[in-house]
Structures are given as C-alpha cells and as structure tokens.
Chains A and B, each alone.
Chain A
C-alpha cells in the first residue's frame, strides 16, 4: 500500500502523500482512459433514468393483466387487446418489457440501499476492531460470528414475520446482514497496517487516534472495500431473488427483477422470456457496476498516485 518512498519521508509529510487527494481533472483523465468504465457509467445512468421515467418510457401498465394473453412470446401481438408485446407476456398476461422497466426501480433501489447501509457499517466496525484490538476487537468479532452463524433466512423470516415483507424491511435485512464481510476484510488489512512504522510515527507525533484511522489507515484499506461493495450491489439484488424463492421477497404484484426471476422458475423450459429478460437486466447492471468499481479502485489506489 505505502511505497518505500513514502515511508522514508518525514512523518509530517506522510499526510500529504497518503491522503486521498483526487482532483477532478484527474478523475476525468482517468475516466477518459477507461472505455469500459465509461460504458458502465452510461448504462447505469441510463438504467436510473429509465427507472425514474418509467411511466413515460414503458409501453404499458406493469400491473395490467390480460388473462387471455398470457405466456405469449416476444414480438407477439395480443388478439384481444391488440397490444404489441415486445418482450412477451408473463403468466398473468402482463407485458414483460414494462415490468422490467418498472422493476428497475425496486431492484436498483434495493441493491444500492442495502450496500449503502452495510458497507459503511462494516467499514467503521472493521476499522475500530482492527485498530483498537483487544476487547473491542473481540466483542465486535463475536457479534460478527453470532450473526454469521445465524442462518440468513431465519433472520429474514424473523423480520418479515414480525415487521412485514415490505421493500423497506427487505433492505434493512439485507443491509444488516451484509456488514461482516467488509468488517473482516478491513480488519485484516488494518491489523497488518497498524503495526507498521508510519502509524507508529504518526502516533509519536501526537496524531489523535481518529485522525490516524480516518486519514492514514482508511484510504489504504478502501480498495478491497470498493471492490467488494461493487459486487455486493449485484449480490444484494440476487439475494432478494433468493428471498423470493423462499416466499419472503417483494410482495406481488410489484414488479422486481428478483421476484420476476423466481416467478419464472417453473416456466424456464416453456416461456424462457420470463426469466431471460430480467436476468439480462441484472447482468447488465452487474457488469456496469463492476466496470465502474474497477475504475474507482484504480483511481483511488495510492500507489498509483505516487508513481
């Protein structure tokens, strides 16, 4: 993480080098070099735009069932209604394209929000745990163990049974269950870093703990966190799909990629469009998020700054 060059510098100058100084010009230049990241950003922005403008963009009503026109293939035209179903219809005769568009709202929101809860929570706990060590570390890690040893569905069922299966509660469950990975990875990084000379040097010069943690250690442990977080967004969307598999996901008839995939389970051999299109939406999202995440990691890696 820190190069020898940086370590040989005087302690007071460490802050300038190891702090994350990212000017906007640097960002733009770095982005310009990375075509995949641009593609990823574009796709994500498009998805968010489409999701926000869903009522304007979608051809039909996502809840409208035309019972006699169910399970029609892509490109079909409904006999009774005259609607054109670009991506086909599902088992209740609803337009798949429309539901994928509206589904973006719920799925993207769940994915981002769940990570927005679990990542900061995990990072902070990991930092504290790794830096202070001893009792604090033990307590936090034991709580982590207890939570990890706790089957996820039990936790999900508990929340759902007591509080109801709303999208908000699902985000809560996903968020609370996800912090441990970040905490552990951050902690293991901090454990090796905290021993190093530059930290001791910072302490000797009188830096307060919090400053050390947030200005010196944090930037150096962020890279793996960013990588993990980008995956986590997609993982959260998939996890919601697993909750649907168990009957604990987003309530019908709300469209959502995860539950659409689950509804399509029995129809994969006969109505492939029901699962492929929400699946493609998820894959696109994952790819884009990952390209952006890769770029971010390259951008933030301190080594690259110095050299």
Chain B
C-alpha cells in the first residue's frame, strides 16, 4: 500500500516540479534581464545591446527555455551570471546551512510547543494555560526581522552573550534559530492545545478513563496521537515554507543559506541560480510532503492514502 502510494506520488511530483520550473522561468524572464546590473554603469547603448546578444537574452522566450531545459535535464542549470560558477553547485553548497537553520527552528518549535500545548489543554484555563497562550500570541505578532534585530540588540550588543551574525560554531545558530522558530512555536502550541481539547472531550476517552486507565496514559497514548494529524500537517507545511522562506532571518543574521542566495539572485536577475534554487526547493518540498503523507497512513490507517 505504501509503495503504491510512493510510486503514484513520485509520478505526480515530477509533474509538480516541472510545473514550478516552467512557471518560475516565465516569471523571472518577464521581469527583465540582468544586463543593466552586470555591466558597468558607463556602458553605452551599443555595448548593452552587444552584451544582451552575447548572453542570449534577446532570444525569444521559447528558445531560451528550450536551451535551458535541454541542459537542465542533464543536471546542468547553467552558470550563475553573478558568481560565474555552476548554478546548481552554488545552491547545493548553501543548502545545508538553510536546512540546519530550518531544523533548529523546527526543533525549538516542536520541543517547546507540543508539551506546552498539551499542558495547556490538560490544565485548561489555569495560569499555565493563560500564560502560555499570551506568550504564543506575542510570538505570533512580531515580524521576523523585528524580532531578529531586537534579539541582536539585546542578547548580543547589550548582554554580550552571543555573536550578532555570521556562521561558525553552534553559538551562531541560536539567535537565528530562535527567530525563525518562534512564530512556528506559537502556532503549533495553539494548534496542539486546540486539537487536544477536542480530543480530550471525546466519549471514548471517557470510556477509557472510566475503565480505570491512568490519566497520563490516556493523554499521551490516545489523545495526543489523535491530535497529531493536523499538527503534523502544520509541521510539514511550516517546514516546507521555511525552507524557501528563511530569507529574512538569513539576511538579518548574515546566515549563509539558500534564502539569501535566492533573494539576491531574484533581485539581480541571476536566472540560472533562481532556476536551480527553485528546483531544489521544490524537490525538498515534495519529499517533505511525501514523508508527511506516509506518516499520516502510519498513524491513522483510516486515512485513505
């Protein structure tokens, strides 16, 4: 069953990745070419025309796409216009840093949110619950760059506890991880709490309790498990969007990930890098989704694959 699921999803995934590639190609070419950004400012009109021709920017979109595609299927996404290196290599080089950041953020989020959400639900309307909910709300009402800068100003400049930016040892990962993860933490906390409240009220749980099972068993083994599905949906979605969207965190903290690379490439019209990056992100996204779906069927067999 699972293998059939995987096979079918893989086929569909190829369609997704292809779709993304085409759409990105069209969109980024529509927004202009990088000639003006690459040539020195004193270049004359004639030189601009010549450069565009040399680089093939003046060819019709269809031709450019075909050229790109023919190479892409062989793994060659072309050379970065800005960095003069193979585009895919650049992306793959920077990917681990972003994955690291994403995992750190998710780790923080899940490790904090699930226990917090469960406790809040179990001890509904207690001080813990109210405090946790207030904190969650604050965590969700701050823009990432604001949070990041505040953390830098307070933790790094004021208290001198951690470095303000850059990469190296684990001390560089803490502030960016917290920044990226806070929003998700808050979100997941609330969702866990909401789902747990739903499930905890179920009759069958009352039955279980009536049968004499201990409260904690009830909570952990049954309630939590059934509350997990939407939570896993959300974690999967958050992971997917984080991968492509740690941009702001990476910029504020000078974290050498793909997010920074992609934004720079988009603004600099570095087509090959944008294509390579979007392709890679799409692949990762599809894989994460697949994993989430498999986890679904493992947890709740009633869900149709």
Chain A interface residues toward B at CB < 8 A: 1, 3-4, 133, 138, 142, 145-146, 148-155, 157-158, 161-162, 180-181, 184-185, 188-189, 191-192, 195, 223-224, 227, 231, 234-235, 238, 241-242, 245-246, 258, 261-262, 265, 268-269, 275, 279, 282-283, 285-287, 290, 297, 301, 303
Contacts and interface: CB of A to CB of B under 8 A. Distances in A.
Q: Is the interface of A mostly helix, strand, loop or mixed?
A: helix
Contact of A151 (B31, B194, B198, B245): B245
Given A146-B16, A151-B281, A181-B237, 16 more contacts: A1-B198, A142-B15, A145-B285, A151-B244, A154-B27, A162-B31, A191-B304, A223-B194, A227-B190, A241-B145, A258-B143, A268-B153, A279-B146, A287-B137, A290-B137, A297-B194
B262 A146 contact: no
Nearest to B241: A148
A93 to B, nearest CB: 23
28 contacts: A145-B286, A146-B20, A149-B20, A149-B281, A149-B286, A150-B24, A151-B244, A151-B281, A154-B24, A157-B266, A158-B31, A161-B30, A161-B31, A162-B31, A180-B237, A188-B229, A224-B194, A231-B190, A234-B141, A246-B263, A262-B143, A268-B149, A269-B157, A282-B141, A283-B137, A283-B138, A286-B140, A303-B201
A245 B145 contact: yes
A184 B23 contact: no
B28 interface: yes
| Size class of the contact patch on chain B | 35 or more
B94 to A, nearest CB: 14
Contacts of B195: 224
Contacts, number: 153
Nearest to B136: A290
Given A158-B27, A224-B230, A153 B247 contact: yes
Interface string B192-206: 001100100101000
Interface string B226-267: 000110011001001100110110000000000000110010
B84 interface: no
B109 to A, nearest CB: 15
B300 interface: yes
B36 interface: no
Q: Is the interface of B mostly helix, strand, loop or mixed?
A: helix
Contact of B262 (A151, A184, A238): A151
A40 to B, nearest CB: 11
Contacts of B118: none
Contacts of B178: none
Contact of A150 (B20, B143, B237, B300): B20
A118 to B, nearest CB: 14
Contacts of A142: 12, 15-16, 19
A4 B201 CA distance: 12
A299 to B, nearest CB: 14
B303 interface: yes
A242 B203 contact: no
B240 A148 contact: yes
B20 A192 contact: no
